[in-house]
Each structure stands twice: as structure tokens, then as C-alpha cells.
Amino acid sequence: MTGITSFADYFVLCSGSNQRQIQAIADEVTLQLKRQAAELPTSLEGYEQGEWVLADYGDMLVHVFSTKARAYYDLERLWRNAKPVGIPSE
């Protein structure tokens, strides 16, 4: 997102199958970023509804969507000029 938007350098986009899975993914992202990078989100939106959770880590925004919400909002299309960055395997 660097050079495309001024509010974030990275977007992380992922999907869950249901509300509980979406919340579990958001919980695990929060836990791992806290453990590995001492980072906590500055805000967390949509967690209770579990349709689209947005965690704001400053330069990185984590989006956890339901399949339906991800297709509807289609952020990949909206931000198609952004350079994809792979996640290294462990």
C-alpha cells in the first residue's frame, strides 16, 4: 500500500467461514503480534458482529472477512494497484 495510500503501508486480508472462526482468527493475530512484535491494535472494529473485523496496527490494517463480506467489499479490486507481498513460511 506504500505510495498508494497515506494511511497504511500494508493490508492483510483473510476470510473465515463463520462468526466464531472470524473472531478466532482476529484473536490469534492479536496474540501473535503481541507475542512476536509487542504490538497491540490501536483500534478493533466489527469483532462482536463477526462479519468483518478490522484491526488497526498503524501502518498495517488486518481485515478478517466473512466470505460474503469479502466478496461484497472486494478490497483486492479496490486496491488492485498495490503490490502483493507474500507471507514467508515458517
Going along 1-90, which residue ranges are E strands?
A: 10-16, 43-45, 52-56, 60-66
Is-above-0.85 flag for pTM? no
Domains in the chain: ranges and CATH = 10-78 (3.30.460.10)
Q: Whole-angstrom Cα distance, residue 30 to residue 74? A: 23
Sequential pLDDT tens for the chain (90 residues)? 455 665 566 788 999 999 999 999 999 999 999 999 999 999 999 999 999 999 999 888 899 999 999 999 998 776 767 677 777 776
**Is residue 12 classed as helix, strand or coil in its secondary structure?**
strand
Residues in the chain: 90
Q: Where are the alpha helices (DSSP H) in the chain?
A: 19-37, 67-73, 75-78
Residue 77 neighbours by CB under 8 Å, 6+ apart:
none
